[in-house]
A and B are shown apart, each in its own frame.
Chain A
């Protein structure tokens, strides 16, 4: 009789312990996921700022170099892709595409001294490089949060419960190495 009682108490205690663990785990995962989403919006704001500058930039460059049609098309296409991007992965791809399209645009602009000297163009260029730096930092913050969230749902024993509780791993916002390097160079230039 008393042995059975001990067993029952042990089982009840075990169930309570597991319930407490699941409760704690669930709350901590929810918190992490909110952090990931919040830091994503930090990137999103900058991406929107970046794409909103593009039409203005294209118009400005067109004023001096109207026949560089292909360059404008690439930039506009990349911008459209960025604006339609739904998740982190496709946004990162579109953003990298836009970065390389803009690089060509600025390389082309080098051939037009009047364009380079235009107040509007210089202003846009400065603003874009500031946004690029901000995207780099927002990405750093976002990726840091994604890493700790993904680690949390993948370590044992969390990995057994994360999926059933509806926690899927988050995507990193990948940058090309070239882009990261470019941001550094632009820091030196303005120093």
Chain B
């Protein structure tokens, strides 16, 4: 698979994700509407609103991600060394210069976001700048630029907003259906009550399954692309050892990154949610095992 196939796959998956999101949200809303004895109006309105939301997300998801990560833009003069590293690696990969943002947090980590290389941002924590030397930092930045160059950022950024919202919506629906079940109007026929109960069960099931599905999507999009970005980074810097050392350092750091959450964790170069030994976190893990990534880099 060439890089162009990978880009095509990413484009296709982005469309699929947006489509599924709209269908899913409209479907759940319609299900709830039917359960509560409503018609098709709610579903149609939900369809339109979800479509609008997806369109807006496509253009502004990255600003939202930067906002919730509390990242601040840095200009050339504020950190010329970092700026030059990014600039040089962009020259090496033929990418336009992305914006650079910093998260003030001592936990070392980094991610990239944006919808295409012309509208992309590389984000590093201040801890990363402190704890890595220049060769290691180059490896990390090269990894992030690879995500930008092959359009991983578009898909991964949309996942934050769309999947994060589905999880929220599911939580909300769960509460709502319980609430609705308690206050069901009593002027209904017997059979209708039965159908209502079945629909209600389906709605509850959907609400329970939603976060699980959301997490599984993340799982599906993230693992192999981390290996690919590692490999592209090694090709760009011509020095796999730099990234290998950086990954070890970041993984060995025990400090959690406060601004990261389940919705944004998959963006980061190394899983920012620490204490990842627990069973649940392992199930939802979006990152391949660190030992394997380092081993592959060292084998290059």
Chain A residues with CB under 8 Å of chain B are: 39, 42, 46, 130, 133-134, 137-138, 140-141, 145, 187-188, 190-191
Contact = CB atoms under 8 A, between A and B. Distances in A.
Given A130-B84, A133-B84, A190 B91 contact: no
Interface in B97-137: 133-135
Given A130-B84, A133-B84, A140-B238, A188 B135 contact: yes
Contacts of A145: 94
Contacts of B134: 187-188, 190-191
B94 A187 contact: no
Contacts of A140: 92, 236, 238
B69 interface: no
Contacts of A133: 84, 88
A141 B95 CA distance: 10
A46 B135 CA distance: 22
Contact of B91 (A138, A187, A188, A191): A138
A161 to B, nearest CB: 23
Given A130-B84, A133-B84, A140-B238, A42 B91 contact: yes
Given A134-B88, A140-B92, 10 more contacts: A42-B94, A133-B88, A137-B88, A137-B91, A140-B238, A141-B91, A141-B93, A187-B134, A188-B135, A190-B134
A191 B88 contact: no
B192 interface: no
B133 A141 contact: no
Contact of A39 (B94, B135, B238): B94
B81 interface: yes
Contacts of B92: 137-138, 140-141
A187 B84 CA distance: 11
**What 4 A-B pairs are tightest by C-beta distance, nearest first?**
A137-B92, A191-B134, A191-B133, A137-B91
B166 interface: no
Contacts of A187: 134-135, 138
20 contacts: A39-B94, A46-B91, A130-B84, A133-B84, A133-B88, A137-B91, A138-B92, A140-B92, A140-B236, A141-B91, A141-B93, A145-B94, A187-B134, A187-B135, A188-B134, A190-B81, A190-B134, A191-B133, A191-B134, A191-B135
| A interface secondary structure, majority | helix
B94 A134 contact: no
Interface of B: 81, 84, 87-89, 91-94, 133-135, 138, 236, 238
Contacts of B81: 190
Nearest to B136: A191
A188 B88 CA distance: 15
Nearest to B90: A137
Contacts of B91: 42, 46, 134, 137-138, 141
A128 B153 CA distance: 33
A130 B91 CA distance: 12
A72 B182 CA distance: 91
A8 B246 CA distance: 66
Contacts of B238: 140
Contacts of A138: 91-92
Given A188-B134, A191-B135, A134 B87 contact: yes
Contacts of A130: 84, 88
Nearest to B135: A187
Nearest to A133: B88
Among B87, B88, B133, B135, which residue has the most Cβ atoms of chain A within 10 A? B88
Contacts of B89: 137
A134 B88 CA distance: 5
B130 to A, nearest CB: 12
Contacts of A42: 91, 94
A138 B88 CA distance: 8
B145 to A, nearest CB: 11
Contacts of B84: 130, 133
A141 B89 CA distance: 10
Most chain A CB atoms below 10 A, which of B91, B133, B138, B238: B91
Which of A46, A137, A140 is packed against the most chain B CB atoms within 10 Å?
A137
